[in-house]
Structure 1
């Protein structure tokens, strides 16, 4: 009989060992399940954060596009204003040249008239003498 008790004791030890291992496995499964649930909730939170960042990025892209359009318009207006000023300056230069030409003609006519007037005075003075 001592052999059968030894066998029973061995079976009992094996069962105890199996119970301990099963308890450890249960604890491991519980811990892993909790971790998995945490990771899943974290993944949902991360997805929500990513969606918010994506929306913010799209809004920023829209603002940047608007700013680019406004900058391009401003540059276009600046170029148009510069060309208008240049054309106005060219027109004024042509008008100034025309006025200078007319002034030169008027001055030459005045000189001729002064010369003719001086000649007439000389003739009048010579006739009086």
Structure 2
């Protein structure tokens, strides 16, 4: 029995626009899991074998590469056109690595800026405690 349910429509609605990488990757993993090729996103990278290796290993490599190509196409199709052009020569694993690296840099910068504001936060003489505490709690929540 063939499963006719396709979750790819969530990728049409939630295209990668750069700042939404984490949400987009979560959706990519959901779709890949449903399509039975999520292992290419997390698992070990298969290596190409020479002709001396038995046919089973060559077949496993071919299936892996087909699944990786399919995952890459799904990823590219769920990006904005600008991002597609920038990443069309990459495979799914390298696309994920690049966006994780960019996301980590942005998150570090944002955490630094929030921390700086938190540490500079001083209560004015004669002001109320409650607004000051709420402001500090807001910074701490954003850091989490």
TM over 0.5: no
The structure, 1 or 2, with the larger RCO (C-alpha pairs under 8 Å, 6+ apart) is 2
- TM-score under structure 2 length normalisation: 0.28
- The structure richer in helix per residue is 1
Larger radius of gyration: 1
